[in-house]
């Protein structure tokens, strides 16, 4: 399977959000990534259900939501009703992680778990076989346009090894600091899905950048 590109609209122009989503509809992007922040788990606030619903009304790509929020279990049903197709919660915010993953799946969404840069991949050993995806944060979550954390390569390789060991089919996703300089090495390390924000939306020709990231 070739790698997937999931542009994050966190760094898109919210004054022209329809235009930005329609650009993604006409691009080589595979998913549309939604960074949901509550100002508690991370020091930033992004957007909520009404904006997700508006994006869903015009999007022709699956919506991939990354919840950087405390107690996400309160909102799982609402994310489903808002049109999210793939839902990722943080290991660091969930005491009853297995229960939440099962709830997400029962709603018909793909279930993922994200881990912060300081969290080792081995903590996912007992849940990995239940997951559709693992998101390795390659920057500290909360803001776009950050630099890639180099030790993330070791975590990606460790996760790939653990995935093979337990027989999981979970996709490996990375988020943060991805550009044309490092994406080839990340593909070689085992990444399946790339969340890319600033590299795309700050470009003069985002369509070309998405194409280049997809078909490097």
Residue of 35, 64, 85, 132 with catalytic role: 35
Active site residue 192: no
**β partners of residue 91:** none
Give backbone dihedrals phi and psi of 183, rounded to 5 degrees, phi first: -65, -35
Q: Where are the beta strands (DSSP E) in the chain?
A: 4-7, 32-37, 63-68, 86-90, 110-115, 133-137, 171-175, 193-196
Pairing of strands 63-68, 32-37: parallel
DSSP state of 149: P
Active site residue 35: yes
Annotated catalytic residue, options 28, 158, 175, 179: 175
For residue 113, report the phi and psi dihedrals to the nearest 5 degrees: -125, 135
Active-site amino acid positions: 35, 175
């Amino acid at each position: 399977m070739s790698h997937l590109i999931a542009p994050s609209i966190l760094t898109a122009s919210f004054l022209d959000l329809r235009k930005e989503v329609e650009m993604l509809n006409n691009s080589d992007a595979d998913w549309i990534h939604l960074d949901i922040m509550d100002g508690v788990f991370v020091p930033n606030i992004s957007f909520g259900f009404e904006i997700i619903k508006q994006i869903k009304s015009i999007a022709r790509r699956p919506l991939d939501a990354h919840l950087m929020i405390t107690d996400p279990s309160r909102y799982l049903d609402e994310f489903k009703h808002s049109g999210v197709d793939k839902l990722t919660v943080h290991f660091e915010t969930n005491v009853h992680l297995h229960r939440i993953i099962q709830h997400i799946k029962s709603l018909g969404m793909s279930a993922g778990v994200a881990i912060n840069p300081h969290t080792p991949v081995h903590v996912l050993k007992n849940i990995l076989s239940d997951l559709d995806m693992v998101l390795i944060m390659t920057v500290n979550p909360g803001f776009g346009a950050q630099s890639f954390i180099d030790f993330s390569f070791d975590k990606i390789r460790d996760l790939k090894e653990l995935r093979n060991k337990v027989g999981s089919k979970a996709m490996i996703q990375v988020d943060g600091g991805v550009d044309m300089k490092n994406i080839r090495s990340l593909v070689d390390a085992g990444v399946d899905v790339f969340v890319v924000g600033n590299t795309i939306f700050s470009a003069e020709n985002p369509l070309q950048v998405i194409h280049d990231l997809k078909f490097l």
